[in-house]
A and B are shown apart, each in its own frame.
Chain A
């Protein structure tokens, strides 16, 4: 080998090893630091796996799972049908469909004894909560890996309701979270600051007054104070204002429908991944959908296509009129305590045939 070739070979080896050790370090050390803005989810995980009475059913999703599914009610309805279950609500505000597979991997990795048998998943839409303000968060950087980035690119590419330059800008906005994911950016720094800075810790979320991970918005409101109370008051006020507007629009024959057909390929991909994760763990996935979600994925079509094994749909206003009763709502997107109780009962009743193994869902 000539001297020049030896030098080039040395450079090549150094470059390859640079990247290899870079990614190894990022994955091993970077991933060891807990997220600084998923405290509620982390606390729920700790409670779920720290319980002496193991849980075998979990509910995963956004605030519309967190505030709507009351495990105690669910368990009692099933017990009345001689199906003993112990369920836990892992719903976490702001969870979107991209995040769900990441959450499931995180949860099931900790279930070393494979006690979880049923995983209820409520998927949100893919656009509405991909807001700019969240893209810079540590939480998004946790799940925004290459696969998610490519899915986001596909989704933006298929969305012809947006202008080309708008879609390109939206895609570029998603490069920083990908970079932060790949490099485990600032995870150690965030953790360090949380240890040494007074008042910085997000550990303020606590599971006090929660029942198996559930806390209704009415209870949350009752015990809220300061900025949290102001935020809740504002949500109620906005809901009241919009309800009047909606009634006016409906009177003119307008509809609230949103075209989300372009999301189908990406959602299909996500649903397949979720099914794989859950079944790979030896559990069964149960997708469920409910009202208040105009941009939600068309799970019915996926069920018909055989992509989903178990689906419970609570959207039908004729079959489930109480879920469309404004009196049960807390704000525009959530039920209050009574609504949660009603929804959980419907969900549990619909699950009975699935649990008995003679139903694929409604």
Chain B
């Protein structure tokens, strides 16, 4: 069930209606958990057992950690949580990656081995909910959170349908307290949430889905196209993945908001970032802050010598890349970001104290250009495609003679202007303050425009595969 599908809208209308009709908090939570499991079962009911299993393990681990005990026991319990959750990821997401890589390595050493196969499919959202359950136990272990004694609360935190399959990655310490408060429908900020949902819907259904075809056409055979087409494809892919993922996040935040729950912000106009460090403060914020708190800082963070710090940074980004997908291309993607972050830090240390400042427009352009380069490795189907596209992007080499329509470039320019206008937020603020009838008229026109410009077929969200 995808947020832009009619069946989701019907599903959500029922969930929302029943939720606010129920008189007390507990029946509402039971209802939301049931709805969340139905939502997930719409993909594959068999994988409900994974969510439930992960929840039960971390519920028990949380209670054991809470009950104190000697540090060794506590370390043992936290190890249980980490091992179980990472094992789920290892088996369901990374098994074939590891098996194929091992087989390739052995082949390089002269040993021919057939890679093992488990014949399993990737459960939707596994990367998101395993990280959430793990962070719950880790926060209790570090004393930053008290374990919940109510299994329903923990199950709803893990399975809450708006963020279940593609985030944002919610922290237990942000979400669990919300489950204790009684919600009142009059507290719901209807207008901002409606505009947020419509904005997400527009980004996903009208922009991302419509430009996916031209990007797919290029990446099916990059060797057939000229250098300008490589640029167009890379720029449009940057737009596509942003609109796809941030559109989904917007709809998730708005959906949760209508139910009375607040989720963390996940995107803050990342393509207007003036540096790569700034980019990671604006892109997939819930993941970057998760990696910072649960990986980078435990590795040592910014303490220690320069090489030690850069190693921590690079390791974090490499593993962050691997989190996105079980392929070396994603590791390279993470590595390129890690490299850029190191260069950025080094550069800042060298110019510190001087009056030199990178002009904002240059900073934005260079950052976007580099992010575009990294997206090539994220999107390309294989190494050859990635390198051909990267050469065309960097050296303006044309491997082929076919061209993407130049209108595609115009499309990018138009979207950039729209994005800049959205960043200013002037129209949104005016609409939020408009009298009720005017607001109704504007929303009517916006909904009509969304339906007119929507792509005819609904494509699955890109981030579902991670």
Contact = CB atoms under 8 A, between A and B. Distances in A.
B454 A189 contact: yes
Contacts of B217: 197-199
A196 B408 contact: yes
B210 A193 contact: yes
Give chain A's interface residue range (CB within 8 Å of chain B): 35 or more
Given A192-B411, A197-B405, A198-B217, A18 B455 contact: no
A192 B442 CA distance: 23
Contact of B445 (A11, A21, A190, A200): A21
B452 A186 contact: yes
A25 B408 CA distance: 25
Contacts of A16: 440
Contacts of B177: none
Interface string A172-195: 000000000001111111101101
A29 B453 CA distance: 10
B18 interface: no
B317 interface: no
Interface in A1-30: 10-11, 13-26, 29-30
Contacts of B405: 195-198
A185 B451 contact: yes
7 contacts: A10-B436, A22-B448, A25-B444, A29-B449, A192-B453, A199-B217, A200-B213
Interface string B381-394: 00000000000000
Contact of A25 (B206, B445, B456): B445
Contacts, number: 116
B444 A193 contact: no
Contacts of A23: 448
Given A138-B456, A189-B210, A192-B210, 16 more contacts: A16-B440, A21-B444, A21-B445, A23-B448, A30-B452, A33-B452, A183-B451, A183-B452, A185-B456, A186-B451, A189-B454, A193-B214, A195-B411, A196-B214, A198-B403, A200-B213
Contacts of A18: 440-441, 443-444, 447
Contacts of A193: 210, 213-214, 455
B77 to A, nearest CB: 52
B444 A22 contact: yes
Interface in B178-230: 206, 209-211, 213-214, 217
B214 A198 contact: yes
A13 B402 contact: no
Contacts of B437: 10, 13-14, 17
B239 to A, nearest CB: 12
Nearest to A200: B213
Interface centre among B411, B443, B453 (most CB of A within 10 A): B453
Given A14-B437, A21-B444, A197-B405, A185 B210 contact: no
B67 interface: no
Contacts of A200: 213
Contacts of A21: 440-442, 444-445, 448
Interface in B349-403: 402-403
A11 B256 CA distance: 24
Contacts of A196: 210-211, 213-214, 404-405, 407-408, 411
B249 to A, nearest CB: 22
Contacts of B214: 193, 196-198
B439 interface: yes
B444 A186 contact: no
Contacts of B404: 196, 198
Contacts of B435: 10
B440 A15 contact: yes
B213 A25 contact: no
Sort A-B residue pairs by CB-CB distance and give the 3 closest, nearest first.
A14-B440, A25-B448, A21-B444
B445 A22 contact: yes
Interface centre among B210, B214, B437, B451 (most CB of A within 10 A): B451
Contacts of B444: 17-22, 25
A192 B209 CA distance: 11
Nearest to A36: B456
B192 to A, nearest CB: 16
Contact of B455 (A24, A30, A184, A189): A189
Given A13-B437, A13-B440, A192-B453, A29 B448 contact: yes
A189 B405 CA distance: 16
B452 A184 contact: yes
A13 B213 contact: no
Nearest to A199: B217
Nearest to A28: B448
Nearest to B435: A10
B198 to A, nearest CB: 12
Interface in B402-434: 402-405, 407-408, 411
B441 A20 contact: yes
A16 B444 CA distance: 9
A184 B452 CA distance: 6
A195 B454 CA distance: 15
A342 to B, nearest CB: 42
A189 B440 contact: no
Contact of A198 (B402, B411, B447, B453): B402
Contacts of B211: 196
B456 A186 contact: yes
A23 B440 CA distance: 13
Contacts of A197: 213-214, 217, 405
Contacts of A13: 436-437, 440
Nearest to B437: A13
